Structures are given as C-alpha cells and as structure tokens.
Structure 1
C-alpha cells in the first residue's frame, strides 16, 4: 500500500523533480561543466513512477483532477471533526476601502483576544500593509520566503502566545498555521486568478480559520472568478454537512487549545531536565553511557531532535 499525503502538492512535485533535474544537468553538460552522461543519473519520470507505484491512497483536503481520475470514483470524504467544529463562515466584500474594512474586522478580533491571518499577493504588499497597520497601533508581523525557518517557528509561537495578534503573509499554507486561536482569515485580492488564488489555494487558506468556534473568512473581491465561486461552494457544502451531522447526533462544537509549543521549542531550543530526574540518573553509574547509546541510536535513525535532547541531558548530567 502506497500513501501520498497532501497529494495536491506531492504528486506535481514528482513531475517537477525530473523536469528540473533534466534542465539543470543539460545546461551543465552543454557548457562543459559535466559529462553528457550526467543526465542518466536522475529521478524517475512521472510515467515511470506511475507504473511502479502499488495500490495507492491519495490524502488531501483539495485533491486535484488527476488523483480523482486515478481513484475511479472511489473517493472517501472525512468532513466531520471530533470537536464538532464547522468550516468557517465566508464573506465576499468589495475591494473599495478594503484596508479600512479590514482594520475594523481586526479590531473586533483583538477585542475578543483572538488572532488573525492576512494573505496578500506580493512581499512588498505584505511589508507595506504591516508597516501601515503598525502605524495604526496594531500588533502585527509579516512572514514570507525571506524569513528563515527558525524565525518562522518563533513567529508562530509568538502569534499563539499573544505577543502579537496579526500575521501577514503571501502563502500561509505551511504546516503549523492550523492554530485554534485564529478567529479571522482575510484574503486580499481574492479575485486575482492564479496559483495563490486558485480553488485549491483558496480552500486551503480559508481552512486556517476552521479550528476556532468563531472562525470566519473575509475575501476582498470585485469579480466572482470560477476559482472563487467553486471554493465558496465547496466550503459551504462542507459546512452544511457538518452542521447536519452535529444536529443529528446532538454534538455541540467546541474548540480545543493545547500548549503553544513546537517540537523545536520543546526538544531542541529549550531542553530541560528536572533536578529530581537528574538525581535519579546520577544514582545509576551507567546512566550517562545508556543515554549516549540512545543518542547515537536516535541520530542513526535520523531522529535528530531526540538526539539533540539526549545530548543536552548528557551535558547536564556530566555537569552534575
């Protein structure tokens, strides 16, 4: 059995890997930096991969046409959440005075101690909007591809903890942005048809507000594009089915809030061992050696977060 997670992204990447590798190596061979035979060492072409894969399950909130075709109609939908939460309410608003309207909505979220995500089309617009909102005394940050990975993690932590209330970005679909504190998702220029405003991207972006009891989405658009129309219809369909299920089974929607921690924060950046735990380790003469063996085993298994945590435990024990 072969399982492809987030298949709407993963499957196109398989096709892109082979094409990108071929373009790069042909250029190097053409200008004499590599031998022509370098193109033989390559990823699988898409059709090769397709022939080799066994029985497959494609998992995605927004499957593409290719996956649906391959499934021959065997599509299983998981729309009901254990918490009973519904897909968010979506509103389309005109772009005229969209920033003023957005600021009003952001004030409501801040008053309710919630969080908001705002998505723009360009880095420049994200930075300019962030600066404008800061001048209006909003607690806001922006995130785009120029922000490195560790800083992204800190930004998400600070957003959840309430260090700031609003995060602005271009593509807010990265893992970790499904935060229950998010009450509002605002999508500027929602009618600018393209990759960031496709049906798939819109549904995924709107879903960022689906973990909050008061979650809602504002889409600023003057034209009802096919992508926008389909995304709204799909979200509305899911919401109706979820509400019907809750009504039939007497489920009252409720949000769940976990500690705002990430693996990186918990196991790498701030590894802690209680004094009591250290004392219990020290009482065993072989404890440090045992931990060292576990650390090596974790590193060999490519579980570097666990290995780093064990390393820091060893250092604390040796210090004791």
Structure 2
C-alpha cells in the first residue's frame, strides 16, 4: 500500500514524474495499491493516473499474450547473526568500505600522538591516559590550555616573517577549533587572521 497525502498540491514531490515514480513503487507487489488523498484532481494527478492505467493495460495484454501470471518476488529473510549485525553496523568487510573501527589509541611513531589522536578517532580522541573514567570527561582538545596562539604573541611581531608564522599558527588553531566544533573560537581566529593579513583595513 502506498498512500500519497496532499496529492493535489503541485510542487517538486507532487509533479507528474514524482507521482508516477511513487505510484510505480506499489507495482512491485502483485497486491500493491495506491491511495491519492486530495481535495481536487490536479493536472499532474490526472496525467499520472492516465499513464498508470495505460501502462497497466499494456502490461496485462503482454501477460495474456505470453501466458504470464504476475507474481511478487519472494526472498528469504537474512539470518540474524554476527555477520548481519556487522553489516548493519557498517563494520563488515575490509578497507575503505568497512572493517572494524578503531576504538582505542593506535601507537605510532609519535606514541600518544598517533593516528587515532591525529584524526580524532575512537576513544583516543577522549582519553590519552588509558583510564576508563577519563572517557566520561571532556576530550583533551576541550582544555583551553591547549591553544597554540597566545594573545601576547601578536605584540612580539617584529618583522614580516614573524607575522606569517603567527598567521600559520592561527590557521592551524582555527582548523582545530572548527574540528572540535568550537565555532566561536574559530570565527575569532578567522577575523584576527584577516586583520593580520590586511593591516590597512
């Protein structure tokens, strides 16, 4: 059963093409029915109903000529086991399309600063100590002391190279702030970077 509410309200989802596609979904089942709820019959409704009736006639004629009895496809339901659970959780398979997700720190060349922390993956984004209780608290990047740019750094600008270095540090911190969804800090940094890049404005 397919029910289309406000079928007479013409628009993106109620034009002739959309109505035909929605009505066509019901035809996949031999007992499929479509109900169009409307106050009046719109031009799109009329056209899609006419086309559906014409297609049904053609299909019935073809079926009679070729002794075909329409039947709904029957597929066996999947057996729920660990493989199905993995498939539904999106962790089945290997490579980019699937595989087990990283849920702990992955040691690398930089130790704690490994891939998991670099890309904020799994528990490593929240916990660098290995303690389960630390997972409940805020992530490491929520600590304001981790900021790369100090407000006093702007006063120490002596030449153009220092200004460029400061802008680069501010851009890194702005991206980090955006990654941790601290958009206010990212916007402040963006505005300050603009002021440093355009000192005359």
Smaller-chain TM-score range?
A: 0.3 to 0.5
Which structure's residues are more often strand, by fraction?
Answer: 1
Give me the TM-score of the superposition, normalised by structure 2.
0.42
Structure with max Cα Rg: 2
Identify which of structures 1 and 2 has the higher relative contact order when contacts are C-alpha pairs closer than 8 Å and 6+ apart: 1
